[in-house]
């Protein structure tokens, strides 16, 4: 008997949330209000609430809202040799690259960086390198495609990247499955991310990975600079002030003796930056 009482008293948050929906919300706004009320009543933690809200709101977004725009694409020309395109791959550190012919609108396929690893074992007597042999088929999607539909297609087709096409058939940008997932679950950490208890990470190349939330005074202390703390509290604010708009991934700007390139940003703010000293 006591075990039954104990069991009933330990209902999962899902059971409690189901009970909260007993009056059946009539629209999305009512649903969101119920979710937030559930959070206030400790039925949902903050992380779960953010994920559910992201999943609901992602249906309102289109590919054009999150894509990497054409001007910021890192592509490889089919006529290039490894010696010519490897520096761009090393610098950008992406895992997939569009391979193009005569122009950016002529996408021939997608190159996975991991497919270049066998080059390390090639000997002079092996067959000449042929980029076409490594290409994977490219997936194309319109700018207007909704993100929930795109995510479903990514999962069904086991794709991780799609080329975004505008209404005239030209390349407008690209989008990855990580871009979509980050709209739902927030930032996905990768090898560029800085440890939780630090703001700045030095790279072997001499560059630095800098969190946008780095206080300006901490940045000044680390780099022995004298950026004003009166206008902006964080490096992210300083960089956004230099851009004059909310920048997207791979946009760059120069401030003083540094070039800042955006590594991670969403529709609300910048998260991660790559800093290159210009005076070295």
147 lies in the same domain as 238:
no
pLDDT tens-digit map of 77-117: 999 988 899 988 887 888 899 999 999 999 999 999 999 98
Q: Residue 122: pLDDT above 80? A: no
Q: Report whether pLDDT(9) > 50.
A: no
Q: Is residue 104 part of a domain?
A: yes
Within-domain flag for 229: yes
Same domain (yes/no): 68, 131: yes
Whether residues 163 and 242 share a domain: the answer is no
Number of domains in the chain: 3
| Whether pLDDT at 224 is above 60 | yes
260: domain CATH number? 3.30.465.10
Alpha-carbon distance of 56 to 204, in angstroms, equals 41
Sign of CA dihedral 70, 236, 232, 54: positive
| Of 142, 136, 182, 181, nearest in space to 163 by CA | 142
pLDDT digits (tens, 9 = 90+) for 146-160: 999 999 999 999 889
The whole-chain average pLDDT of the chain stands at 82
Question: What is the pTM for the complete model shown?
Answer: 0.58
In the block, which residue shows the tokens 């190349």?
205
Residues 191-216 pLDDT 10s: 445 454 468 888 777 888 898 889 99
- Whether 94 and 33 map to the same domain: the answer is no
Cβ pair 247, 233 in contact under 8 A? no
């Amino acid at each position: 008997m006591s075990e039954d009482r104990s069991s009933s008293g330990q209902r999962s948050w899902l059971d409690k949330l189901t009970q909260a929906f007993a009056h059946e919300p009539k629209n999305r706004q009512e649903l969101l209000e119920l979710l937030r009320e559930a959070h206030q009543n400790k039925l949902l933690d903050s992380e779960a609430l953010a994920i559910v809200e992201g999943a609901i709101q992602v249906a309102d977004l289109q590919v054009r809202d999150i894509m990497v725009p054409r001007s910021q694409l890192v592509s490889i020309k089919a006529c290039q040799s490894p010696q010519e395109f490897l520096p761009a791959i090393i610098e950008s550190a992406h895992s997939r690259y569009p391979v193009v012919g005569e122009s950016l609108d002529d996408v021939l396929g997608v190159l996975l960086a991991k497919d270049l690893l066998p080059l390390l074992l090639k000997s002079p007597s092996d067959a000449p390198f042929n980029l076409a042999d490594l290409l994977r088929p490219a997936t194309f999607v319109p700018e207007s495609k909704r993100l929930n539909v795109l995510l479903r297609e990514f999962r069904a087709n086991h794709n991780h990247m799609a080329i975004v096409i505008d209404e005239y058939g030209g390349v407008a940008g690209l989008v990855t499955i990580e871009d979509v997932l980050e709209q739902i679950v927030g930032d996905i950490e990768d090898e560029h991310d800085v440890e939780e208890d630090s703001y700045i990470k030095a790279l072997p190349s001499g560059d630095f990975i800098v969190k946008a939330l780095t206080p300006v005074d901490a940045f000044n202390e680390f780099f022995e600079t004298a950026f004003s703390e009166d206008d902006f509290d964080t490096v992210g604010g300083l960089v956004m002030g230099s851009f004059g708009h909310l920048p997207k991934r791979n946009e760059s700007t120069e401030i003083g003796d540094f070039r800042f390139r955006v590594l991670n940003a969403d529709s609300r703010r910048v998260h991660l930056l790559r800093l290159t000293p210009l005076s070295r």
